[in-house]
Every structure is written in C-alpha cells, then in structure tokens.
Structure 1
Amino acid sequence: MKTGSAALQTYLKKQTEYAFVMDHTGANPYQLIYGVSGAQRGALAAMIAQSQGKNLLFIAENAQKIQEIIDDLSFWLPGYQMFSFPALDILPFEVLAQSKETRWQRLIALQGLLFSDKPTAVVTTVEALRKTMQDPDQIKQSFRTFKTGERIHIKAFLGWLIRHGYERVERVEEKGQFAVRGGILDVFCPTAEWPFRLEFFDDEIDSIRSFSQETQRSLNKMDHVWLAPASECIFNDDQRRKILQALRQEAARPEAKKKGEPAKAAEVGQRAAQLMELMEEGSFFPGHEQLLPYTGETSFLLTDYFEGQVITVMEEPSRQRESSQLWEKEYEETCLALLDKGRICPGQMQNYLLLDPLVMKLGARGLLYLALLPKRPAWFGQAGMLSVTAKTVSLFLQKVQLLADELKEWRRLQYSVLMVVSSEERARRLQENLRDMGVEVAYEAGSYKPEPKKISIILGKLSGGFDFPGMRLAVVTEHELFFQPKKKTRRKMFQEGKRQLLLEDLKPGDFVVHVNYGVGRYEGIENIKVQDAQRDYLVINYQGADRLYVPTDQAGYLQKYSGLEGAKPKLSKLGGSEWSRIKAKAQKTVSDMADELLQL
C-alpha cells in the first residue's frame, strides 16, 4: 500500500491544474507561481519537490515563520529529513553576542546535508543564505567516526579536537567541550543530543557511552561515535598562511595613507595586527569565520552542500527584496562606521552577498517564487509566471453543522477532503459528530488514500487549511475546526498623560523610539549581571555597531515606532545630535500649531 504522500501524488496527477503546473515548473531558471499564501505555499512546494524527486530549500520571508514551515513540510514530506538553517544572530564582527545554539543548529543542518542518505528539506532565510561559506568538501573531511576496539594516539586525538574548535574544560557541560580524566575522555559533539564518554585501555577505545551532562551518569552503550567539528569554518595551514599574508598587507593600508587618512590607517593597522596575533595563537577565536574572505578562495552557498538536485523556493520575492535593500543599506553603514573606528578590516566587508548576486547564484540551479499577487520580481524580467487557484478555508468555530454543510458541498464537487487533527480522541469524536449530521468520513490513522468524493480524518499537524479548486483538494485543520477568535479587551494605553510601551506587543525586529536616543531596532531581552545583581534589559540596536541596554523598569522611555505602512525608518546614531534636532523641530511645530489654534 502506498504511503499517504505517494497516494496523494497519484491522486493529484489526475487533476488538470496540478499536471499543468508540474509540467511548466522548471521551464525557466526563474519561475513565479502566484495566487498562494500561508499554508498553501508549504503544501505546493512539497508537492513540487516530491513530484520532481528533488531536495528542497525553502527561503522563508522571515525567521519567525521557519518552524511553522518546517511543521507543514514535515507533514507533506514524511520521507524527507527536515532542518532549519538560521542566520547568525548578528553581523560576524559583533562576536560577543553570538548565540552558540544558532551555530549548533547550522552545523546539524550541514551534517545532515553532507551525509544524507535520503531527500532533505531545509528552511532558511535570505539573511542566512547571504553568509559565504567554506568548500563543502573541506568541511566534510572535518567529520570523524571512532569505534570501540579502534587504536588511536590520544594526544593526536586531543589535538584534532582543539584544531576543530572544541574547548578543553574540567567538566563537560555544553556542546563543543571536552574533558580528560585519566583514561576517560568526555566530549560533547555539537550535533549530538548527549555527550559521549570514551574509556581507553592504553591507546585502544575500550567502550563508548552517552551520558547526561547534568548527572554525569551513563545512558546508552554505543559501538561507534560520530564527531562533527565545533565550527562550520575550519582553516587549514595553507589558508591560515594566506589569511596572515592578507592581513599584513591590510595593516600597511597604503591606500588610506595616500588619501591623507593616517589616523584611520593606524586604527585599521592596529585591528589587523590584533587579528594576526589571534590567528598565530590558534585558528579558533570568537568570530574567526569573518576572516574567510582573506583566503582568496571561491566562496560557497548552502545550496552547494546539497547532495543531488535541489529546488529552491522563495516566498514573496518582492517583499523580500524591499527588506533586503534596507538590510544592505544598514550593513554598509555599519561596516563603514566600524571601519572608521578601526574595529574591522576592509576585507571583512566581503562576508555577505548582496541579494542580486545571491539570486543569480541560486538561479543557476533554478529558483521558484511563490507569491499571492502576480507581481513579477522586478530584478529579473525573464521569470516565467504560472497561476494556481487557491482559497482559504472558512472558520467553522466548533459548529459541526457548518462543517457538515461545507463537506457535503465539497463531496458534490468531487473533492478529496483531508481533515488533519492532532489526536485519535479528537478524530473519533469528530467522526461521530459528522456521522450524526449524515456525513460519513473515514478515519485513517496510518496511510491515507485520497479519492474523489472521499473525506478522510488523519493525524498530523499543519499551520492552516486550504482549498485548491483546480486540483479538487481541500484540507481542514484544527485551526479552522476549533479556533475561537478572542474578543479583544481594550487595554489602558496611557498613564499619567504618557503613552506606555506594552512589552507583550514587541517582538524582535520591531522599530522603537527612545525619548532620549531616537529610533532603534528592538532585539529582545537579555539578563545581565551588573555588580552582583541580575537584571533584565531591553536590547536596542542603533546605527553602526551601537547598542543600548534599557532596564525593563525604564520601558516607559520607549514606544513602538509608527509610520507609513511598509516604510522602514532610518536608525538613529547614539551620541549624535540628529535626534535632538528632530525633537526640537517637532516641539516647535507642535508649539506653532498650538498658537494657531489659540488664534482661531
């Protein structure tokens, strides 16, 4: 019996619109399919990838959508392995705030791609794809396996761990660490769930066990262990030599001296000297990957890590281009500001690709756009265009009669209907309720088989339902079945005559205005220890590399930025006078308006 996804493909191939879309997808390097939104995009991308037998790279509109898209793809592509590939939290030269968890997530995805034995789907963002990467063959060689009974030179093994980014500690507590106690070696591979404990008899691996880093107790006995590098960027001796040579050349900065900028040349030279010192001490230090451009080697993208063919899907390309242009402008301003302060060297500005060259590289393997409106991506006029008829599904608000009426209409139109719920209990209850309304439905706990006029209840998780009239397919999820819109209560927005910021209304990436410092971008809340006291601070990014930490009890100094819809404000510069001038001008305007009103 075919699995549900295979049976669905069999059903869809008999539908005229689906067959047309499949036949024409890939006819152009750049293809736009419009008319789809929300959960429809994940379903359509999965159908196309499975139909063509390709891996899938899905470029989400923003990082907040990644998990939702992964959940949808996991449902439609049960035979694929799924990974998220997040962007590094910050620009690579702001090394102190980099998230280790983000680095580990990226390594898990790379390991899955390099050593995959089944098709793979990766969900990422433009921000993550921009970062240039090392040759996948070089990274692949940085993975090692060890098995019981194998003889190894322990000192050489410890050297391998250090050269590949691991940190030696007294007790292993985090990923990327290792510890040695007599004939016992504990190591926590960044791509593993638990750390490993290798016991040696002389130079032979006597046993391998996983253990809990919290209790230090053994969990499972293993016959081999797979170790990944603790970084996605590993420099060999030749690359280190090239980097040092390039940094020495930048330290001289003859072009800056010719332009009459000796102070700037001295600052850049000082920074280059610092980086050279770090490189000579060892290949690994926070932010070492920012030196990748100095190797002078070809840069690679995530798509180069896929084994076999891959279809790349980008949702809402026009909106992504608009946000990307803002990012590129801010990136350039930040780099120039840091360059002026001597905090980066010129070569570090080559770590990220701009959107246009990025899209051109992606298009070499074929790039599919999914959007709601038929707006051809402005930067590539040769994109082909296809339309898909898609509708959203109405909310049934837990009213079985409304659902039964809709199901009867779909059955009349010879649809295949899939109702997706999260538990068998809900499935059985829904089946009984619909039977009472005169609608017979099939509960298919395992594989399902779509057929015309057939209504099935299956187990799974999807972000939303949809209706593809041209494919005679409707999907109903728990959102449509049980969601009840909450009546919004009017919250008090003013206190003592001042607008108050509601922290629950803020999400990372939102623009805010500080009464004293101007427009910044909210990045989240960090818990920081200051003089033996732990406090929560709101982190606000400003122009350049400037950051402002605002105690949560001073959130009243902030308010959410409001402007024209879709317009992105320019970030203020900390320590500058521009914001004071803007405030003074605004106050004068208000005062003049008040005078005019009084005269009236």
Structure 2
Amino acid sequence: MATQSTLTVTGQQALVDGPAPIEEPARRGHAPSGAVAARLVAMDRTDDAPILFIASSERRADEIASALGALSDPDQDEVLVLPPWDCLPYDRARPSRESMGRRMAVLAALGGPPSRRRLLVACPEALMQRTPPAKAVAAQFDLEVGARIDRSALEAFALRTGYVFDERIDEPGEIAVLGAVIDVFPPAEAAPFRIGVSDDDTVTDIKRFDPVSQRTEAEVAAIRLTPASELVLKQAQDVEALPDAAEHRLAQHYRALSSAFDFVDGARVLTDDGLS
C-alpha cells in the first residue's frame, strides 16, 4: 500500500506556524551542513549499503537532513533523521509522543525492505538510546480509501501503541473516534488526518487538516499509523497497569532491547568533524 506523507525526510520535526530554523553557526573545522549533505548525495552508488552520518549534535543532524531532503533525488534516495528523546534519562517526565513516534517511524522504515539508497543522519545521543525490538517497531495500522475499517482493532492498536484519545486533535499521537469521522495525528507526520467513514465502516475519504483551524486540506489515498510510544503493549488492557513514565524502564518490559545499529547493519558509517 502506497502511503502519502507531508514530510520529505522521515523523522523530521514538523514546524507548525513557526519560523524556519536558522542554521547553527559552523564551528571551527566544521563544514557547512549544506556542504556535508552535498557530499553525502554525491557518494558512490555502486552498492546498496545504507549510509549513516553521525552528526555532532541534534540540531546539526536536523540541518543536514533538511539539506539532504532538498538536494537528494526522492526516487533514488530515502532520507531519514533519527531524533533522541526530548527528556533526560530516568527523568520524571516521559518523552513526548512526538519524539518517540518519530524514532519509531524511522526505525520501522529502516526495518523494511529497501527500495532506494538510505541516508540516515543521527547525533550520538540518538544512537546511544536503546530501542525496542524489531517486532515492536514493526507495529502498524493501515487505513485506505475504499477499505473496511475495524473500529475495535483500530482502538486497540491506538491503546497498545501510546495514542491518547481526545475529542479535539491538535497534537501528535492523539486520536478521536467520533461516529462517522475519525481524526488522528500520526506522531511522525506534519499534520493530522480526518477519515470519513460510511455506515458500513468503509473509509470514504482521508484528508489532512489544520490542527488550529480544524479545516480540511489535501486528500490522500491511504495512511499508515505507527506507534506513538516506544513501549508497545501486547494487549490494550495492559495500559491500565502502566506506571508513570514507564518508557524509562523499557528493559523491564521487553525481553531484550535492540540498538539503532541493528537496523542499519552493514552501513557505511561517516562521522562529523571532531567525532571519533
């Protein structure tokens, strides 16, 4: 199923009604982000090995990935940026659904069969963070115009994978099941989607909408929901037993954790100036 995304870079942070980020001033010895991206795009394509570029910081990784999205050919290159959590390890606060959802979407893309050359950018903090096993990362729920939807299965998936049920959808990782309409904000997308459903539970249309004005925009044929949490439950009812900030204790939930490097086996690894 071909799904349609509003982002050119998987894992890219979406800015809503905000200014474009200003590039971080180059440190002494640091090549400009655009120059690094141009060098990565121009690298030899004779093998299918993914390319992993380790940037010196999260902001620099975002800048390089953004430049890659503009310079690369989307028919030949798949650009991804792996973010770190937006909280400290073992903090009282849980990481946001957006940061976890972006990470899970990137790992899910890396876990699938490659159709293009992969260019992954990440900072050391994002790579050091342990990840859920591949089976948990692969959790997904597809919605397509013309297909029947199992509401119970959708709601169970949302509960198991960290979505929050709300009446008005305006933040990543939220979902609302409202009779003939289902609103959902996939955490790795730039905008939420409004899904029209007929009396026999057939999807009639899927449209992006503005989370501020709630007005619908472009129509798409299909979307794929990926987890909004790195703690994916086996049963929906298990969510009631979760302690606060349970994501900080992933090792207690999974039999074994993985690493981001497990998802890019055989990659050509390049490092930023000053990293070794």
Confirm or deny a common fold (TM above 0.5): yes
Deviations along 1:487-512, one digit per CA (max 9) or x if unpaired, are xxxxxxxxxxxxxxxxxxxxxxxxxx
> Helix, strand or coil: the match of 2:261?
helix
Aligned to 1:474: none
Structure of higher CA gyration radius? 1
Deviations 1:180-226 (A, max 9, x none): 22222211111223322223333422412222222222223333221
Any residues of structure 2 matched to 1:32-431 within 5 Å, and which? 38-39=31-32, 45-48=40-43, 50-71=45-66, 73-74=68-69, 77-78=72-73, 79-96=76-93, 98-115=95-112, 116-140=114-138, 142-210=139-207, 211-236=209-234, 281-283=240-242, 287-295=245-253, 297-306=255-264, 309-316=266-273, 320=275
Decide whether aligned partners of structure 1 residues 225 and 92 sit closer, same or farther in structure 2, where only a CA change above 3 A counts: same
Aligned CA distance change for structure 1 residues 164 and 295 (closer, same or farther; 3 Å): closer
Name the SS of the counterpart of 2:249 in structure 1: helix
Instruction: Tell me the TM-score normalised to structure 1 length.
Output: 0.36
SS of structure 1 residue aligned to 2:45: helix
Q: Distance in 2 between matches of 1:231 and 1:296?
A: 14
Alignment CA distance shift 1:136-1:171 (3 Å) = same
Structure 1 residue 132, shift from structure 2 partner: 1.0
8 Å contact 2:149–2:203 — kept in the other structure? no
TM-score when normalising by structure 2: 0.73
What amino acid maps onto 1:129 in structure 2? L
User: How far apart, CA to CA, are the structure 1 residues paired with 2:240 and 2:250?
Assistant: 17
Q: Is the 8 A contact 2:141 2:154 kept in 1?
A: no
Assess, with a 3 A threshold, how the Cα gap between structure 1 residues 100 and 292 changes in structure 2: closer, same or farther. closer
CA distance in structure 2 between the aligned counterparts of 1:233 and 1:313, rounded to whole angstroms: 30
Q: Secondary structure at the match of 1:90?
A: coil
> What is the root-mean-square deviation in Å for CA atoms of aligned residues?
3.2
Task: For 1:73 and 1:111, locate their aligned partners in 2 and report how far apart those are by CA, in whole Å.
Answer: 20
Output the CA distance in 2 between the equivalents of 1:169 and 1:207: 22
Contact 2:50 2:266 in 1 (8 A): yes
Matches within 5 A, 1:512-531: none
TM-superposed CA distance for 1:41, in Å, is 5.6
Q: Distance in 1 between matches of 2:136 and 2:100?
A: 18
Query: Which digits, 9 at most, give the CA deviation of each residue in 1:253-272, with x for residues without a partner?
Result: xxxxxxxxxxxxxxxxxxxx
Task: Give aligned-pair identity as a percent.
Answer: 23
Contiguous gaps of at least 5 residues in structure 1: 1-35, 241-277, 321-368, 370-600
C-alpha distance in structure 2 between counterparts of 1:73 and 1:152, whole Å = 36
Deviation of 1:137 after TM superposition, in Å, equals: 3.2
* Closer/same/farther in 2, CA of residues 197 and 71 from structure 1, 3 Å limit: closer
TM-fit CA distance, 1:145 = 0.9
The count of residues paired between Structure 1 and Structure 2 equals 242
- 46 and 158 in structure 1: CA distance in 2 versus 1, 3 angstrom threshold: same
Cα deviation for residue 176 of structure 1 reads: 0.9
Q: What secondary structure is seen at the aligned counterpart in 1 of 2:205?
A: strand
Instruction: Tell me, yes or no, if the aligned pair for 1:60 and 1:314 is still in contact at 8 Å.
Output: yes
Deviations 1:76-115 (A, max 9, x none): 6433222221221332321427445433432342343234
